[in-house]
Amino acid sequence: MRAKSIRNLVILIMVVFTTTSSFAQDASRIYVEPTGWSLGTTFGLTDLWGDVGTKSILDHYTNSKYFDRMAIMGGMFGRYTIHPALAVRMGLSAGTLYATDEWNYDKAIISTSQGDDAYQRYARGQKIRSDIFEGTAMLELTPFRLNPEKARAHKKGQLFLGAGLGYFHFTPYNVVGSGTKYREVYDLHIEGDGFGAGFPDAYKLWQFCVPMVIGYKWDIGMHCNIGIDLTYRKTFFDYLDNVSGKYIDPAEYAKHMSAKDAAIAAAVQDKAYLYKLQQPNVAGNVRGNSGNSDAYTSINFTFYYKVFSRTKEWWKYHRL
């Protein structure tokens, strides 16, 4: 499914390139990006970096089940060029994050001990999805255009870097027991968050993040640009995948919720025994690593149109 979607993305980019090639007739003109607004769109694949999933980045991308499910994000942005090397970019995006402990299957089936990390992760059996809506504001630096008079600044292909501040809303989901249907889990207080003394504080569904981006972009003619980038968002909390600390006594659910929700919470919290992989976890057993904050990334394809407010290369006369 993911491989097919990647192929479709490549086809989409090629179509965009073809349809904008008419602008290339005046692309032979040597120029550097003037001051002005750009309007664009972005679309890409996402990854969640939390407690659920594999321990290493290599295992994350190379396990046999990684391509079973695709998670995507798309959005719109406005971009204002202050100088050929510096722009302000503001955007809104929405999408989905996904992670599953099934990504540890390859190593779990060859584990020699139930204490192995891969086995414990696989036995935990968490399969999560978080719906994301974010707003970001970033400064974008194109370093080889710091001096617009140099030949490298006039190249159509340019490396760029960016960083800024984001604010996002997320809604976490998980499957109940050994089922396949997703259920919103924020209200289930899986690790006792918000239950009071002795339990973690309740977390909020609106959170700040710090987006950091590295990418490469190509000018197509005088007005169009396509690019590809990797955007990493550092968050400041550990519940993006609804896993953070320790297992709690299932009896605590009944003290704070209805009998129905208490039963659902217990079936979400601990799944290993449902798969007959081990005995139910006792209260206090480690469920996640609360010492590490979660993060998420996206590999994006971008397209934007430059609405020039100036065409004169003013920086030849006025320098920073």
With pLDDT > 90 as the criterion, what percentage of the chain qualifies? Answer: 73
The per-residue pLDDT for 316 is: 54
Is residue 101 predicted with pLDDT exceeding 60? yes
The tally of CA atoms less than 13 A away on the side-chain side of residue 51 is 22
Least confident of 34-38, 58-62, 189-193: 34-38
Closest CA to 139 of 161, 117, 123: 161
Residues 6+ positions from 281 with CB-CB distance below 8 Å: 247, 270, 272, 287
Walk me through the domains of the chain, giving residue ranges and CATH numbers: 2-21+33-307 (2.40.160.20)
**For 175, phi and psi rounded to 5 degrees?**
-85, 150
The per-residue pLDDT for 11 is: 55
**For 81, phi and psi rounded to 5 degrees?**
-85, 120
The per-residue pLDDT for 35 is: 86
The per-residue pLDDT for 319 is: 47
The per-residue pLDDT for 263 is: 95
The per-residue pLDDT for 318 is: 46
- What value does the mean pLDDT take over residues 289-306? 96
- What value does the mean pLDDT take over residues 110-126? 90
The per-residue pLDDT for 74 is: 98
Is residue 26 predicted with pLDDT exceeding 50? no
With pLDDT > 70 as the criterion, what percentage of the chain qualifies? Answer: 87
What is the rounded distance in angstroms from the CA atom of residue 120 to the CA atom of residue 288? 11
pTM of the model: 0.86
